[in-house]
Amino acid sequence: MLAVLSNRLSERVRVPTPLLFLVAAALGAHLISALDDVPHRSIERLVTVALAVILFDGGMRIGWPRMRSALGPVVAVGVVGTFLTTLALAVLAHVALGLDWWVALLVGTAIAPTDPAVVFSVLGQREPAGRSGTILEGESGVNDPVGIALMVGLLSAGGVSAGALSGVAGDFALQMAVGGAVGLLGGRALLAFMRRVALPSEGLYPLRTLSGGLVVFGAATVLSGSGFLAVFVAGLLLGDARAPYKGEIERFHSALASLGEIVAFLALGLTIDLATLSRTDVWAPGLLIGATLAFVVRPVLISCSRATRYSCWPVRTCETGWLMTGEISARRHGRRGARSPAPAGAAAGAHVPPVEPPRKEQPLPPRLAGTRQSHAPQTRRR
């Protein structure tokens, strides 16, 4: 109940709700010794299921038509940007902190992706107009599977060498290809099942969709693919498709994703050791990497993607989430009417009025072409 009501507190203190869950769980584990004994394997399973549910709901909320309109920026920032961010952070960790190259790459891979739970949570309350919100959500949904697949490949390699890196590239390509294919086929099959097979009770329709999404996730994982990418792609295909009781299905998955957000960050908070975190040799390097990521690496990489019409500046906070500090210049070829940067208060949840791009007047069909002037005063010819 306290976790549910924390949204009101989040609006007042201008802090994302997942961060409150994380801090509360860390304090609870520090004060109550029994909470510190939760097996990490159980936490890993809880977070995995919660993330799959969040990505499935995120894909449904975006929908394929919106995703297609912003696919180029999403791929550029979510895939290429994740690789470049990982490389930049690895160089920083190796040069500034003296970490081995393999360990430095693991650190960069762990913190390079955005967190979909935080991004979907923040944008679910106040989404920017135009493609900016789609780019933020799509990038967050795509780069998490990319980061996880890259992490799995690096852990399997066990070091940095030409042979190991080629193995990482092969594992990554396999996970992305299999995950995307399973998500595409599974999403289409689930949509056909939703449309053609009726159920005796309307309460069963959302449960069928949930079970179908988890089957897609499991099938991709068993086939050595990315289950997270598969479930996100399946959600995209279901997003704007028509199906019986679609409104009830969307509301159910939205509520379940909110529950998954609570569970994931409470579980992750139990793994934080405040005594270790208070050591200077722990928080100082973390602060250096976080500040460099937020104010140097990501802004530079996003600036390189400004060939697209709209680009965004997501900034990571702490180790687990991202906040949106504003939209960076949507100016294109020096035209007027571009969006100005949003105030920094947007990161904390301040209201930012949506700004829609100017719409062009659509021509009327030929049979109605003469109706525009039908209401204009007529001048009688003499």
Burial (CB count <10 Å: 0-12, 13-18, 19+), residue 63: middle
pLDDT of res. 354: 44
Place of tokens 């792609």: 233
Alpha helices by DSSP H, listed for the chain, are 2-13, 17-31, 40-62, 64-69, 71-75, 81-97, 101-111, 116-125, 131-157, 162-196, 204-222, 227-239, 246-269, 274-277, 280-292, 298-304
Instruction: Tell me which of 3.30.1240.10, 3.40.50.2000, 1.10.150.650, 1.20.1530.20 is the CATH number of domain 16-31+43-330.
Output: 1.20.1530.20
> If you average pLDDT over residues 122-143, what whole number do you get?
71
pLDDT tens-digit profile of 268-293? 999 998 989 889 999 999 999 989 98
Contact indicator for 149, 130 with CB cutoff of 8 Å: no
pTM: 0.75
What is the spatial distance between Cα 152 and Cα 296, in angstroms, rounded to a whole number? Answer: 27
Type of residue found at 32? I
Other beta carbons within 10 angstroms of residue 64's beta carbon come to: 18
What count of Cα atoms within 13 Å lies in the side-chain half-sphere of residue 315? Answer: 18
pLDDT of res. 378: 44
**What integer best gives the mean pLDDT of the chain?**
78
Contact indicator for 301, 82 with CB cutoff of 8 Å: no
Contact indicator for 167, 196 with CB cutoff of 8 Å: no
pLDDT tens-digit profile of 196-226? 999 999 999 999 999 999 999 999 999 999 9
Q: Which residue has the higher pLDDT, 358 or 2?
A: 2
What is the spatial distance between Cα 123 and Cα 323, in angstroms, rounded to a whole number? Answer: 9
Whole-angstrom Cα Rg for the chain: 23
Phi–psi pair at 230, nearest 5 degrees = -60, -45
What is the spatial distance between Cα 66 and Cα 239, in angstroms, rounded to a whole number? Answer: 10
What is the spatial distance between Cα 56 and Cα 49, in angstroms, rounded to a whole number? Answer: 11
pLDDT of res. 73: 85
pLDDT range class, residue 347, cuts 50, 70, 90:
very low
> If you average pLDDT over residues 169-190, what whole number do you get?
95
User: How does 354-376 read in b/e, with b if 16+ C-beta sit within 10 Å?
Assistant: ebeeeeeeeeeeeeeeeeeeeee
pLDDT at 139 over 50: yes
> If you average pLDDT over residues 36-54, what whole number do you get?
90
What is the spatial distance between Cα 263 and Cα 58, in angstroms, rounded to a whole number? Answer: 17
pLDDT tens-digit profile of 283-335? 999 999 989 988 888 888 777 655 444 444 433 333 333 333 333 333 333 33
- Lookup: tokens for 307: 């060939």
What is the spatial distance between Cα 52 and Cα 179, in angstroms, rounded to a whole number? Answer: 13
pLDDT of res. 91: 94
pLDDT of res. 183: 97
- pLDDT cut 90: percent of the chain above it: 41
∠ CA 323-127-255, nearest 5°, is 90
pLDDT at 157 over 80: yes
Q: Residue ranges per domain, the chain?
A: 16-31+43-330
pLDDT of res. 130: 63
pLDDT of res. 122: 57
> If you average pLDDT over residues 251-269, what whole number do you get?
91
pLDDT at 21 over 50: yes
Other beta carbons within 10 angstroms of residue 286's beta carbon come to: 15
Other beta carbons within 10 angstroms of residue 89's beta carbon come to: 22
pLDDT at 9 over 80: no
pLDDT of res. 171: 92
pLDDT range class, residue 229, cuts 50, 70, 90:
very high
- Lookup: tokens for 297: 């690496």
- pLDDT cut 70: percent of the chain above it: 73
